[in-house]
Chains A and B, each alone.
Chain A
Amino acid sequence: AQSVTQPDIHITVSEGASLELRCNYSYGATPYLFWYVQSPGQGLQLLLKYFSGDTLVQGIKGFEAEFKRSQSSFNLRKPSVHWSDAAEYFCAVEPTYTRGAQKLVFGQGTRLTINP
């Protein structure tokens, strides 16, 4: 079945440590790929997106993500997390068959906790 999977429901890292959040998708053709962050009381904010081209994508707040076609993955990384990065992170895709309609399919989300 076509889906977006974030294997880690909850991750805890220490402040200053590196971070990697996993995202895998199962679609026949490579969809558009997105990472969003959701903080309490705030709307989802786009961190970065991949449409095509360079497989390493730079986003806001020091985040980056790497698209790996062979692994159907789009993992989010940050070299050194800050306490303010604690939030819920969602991977999302726009399947090719809905392209133009911008219908996003979201993963289950990963809650990030930062230890001081």
Chain B
Amino acid sequence: GAVVSQHPSWVICKSGTSVKIECRSLDFQATTMFWYRQFPKQSLMLMATSNEGSKATYEQGVEKDKFLINHASLTLSTLTVTSAHPEDSSFYICSARGGGYEQYFGPGTRLTVT
């Protein structure tokens, strides 16, 4: 089946710094990628949708200047958390969709901001 990877799997950073998370579709071309946030013992919440070569579409309440998304190629999307603060600590999950309907999910990245 289709495989989506994320890197890093976990990261610890200091408050005020920026962190970049990569999402790659390994064996298919992803026309659309999605970024979710998951708090402990809670559900996934969609943050934004990105199409290759286009600006990302952010969900209501998500700060686009805080969470920068770049979908530069058909196999790579990046999420940059800028000027991270402890409240940004969370589990970030990406998913990717190719030509079909199904979304394939990455394993997630745990971000801890100290």
Q: Which residues of A contact B (CB under 8 A)?
A: 9, 36, 41-46, 49, 90, 101-109
Contact = CB atoms under 8 A, between A and B. Distances in A.
B104 A43 contact: yes
Interface stretch (B11-19, B39-47, B62-70, B74-82): B39-47
B4 interface: yes
Main secondary structure, interface of B, reads strand
Main secondary structure, interface of A, reads loop
Contacts of B49: 101-103
Given A44-B93, A101-B49, A102-B97, A108 B43 contact: yes
Interface of B: 4, 9, 32, 34, 41-46, 49, 93, 95, 97, 101-108
A42 B102 contact: no
B9 to A, nearest CB: 8
B107 A104 contact: no
Contacts of A107: 43
Contacts of A49: 102
A54 B53 CA distance: 38
Given A44-B95, A45-B105, A102-B97, 5 more contacts: A43-B4, A49-B102, A102-B32, A106-B44, A107-B43
Contact of B106 (A43, A46, A90, A109): A43
Contacts of B34: 102, 104
Nearest to B104: A43
Contact of B93 (A9, A41, A43, A105): A43
The 8 A-B residue pairs with the shortest CB-CB distance in the complex, in nearest-first order: A43-B105, A44-B105, A106-B43, A106-B44, A43-B107, A108-B43, A43-B106, A42-B107
A72 B20 CA distance: 40
Given A43-B4, A44-B93, A104 B43 contact: no
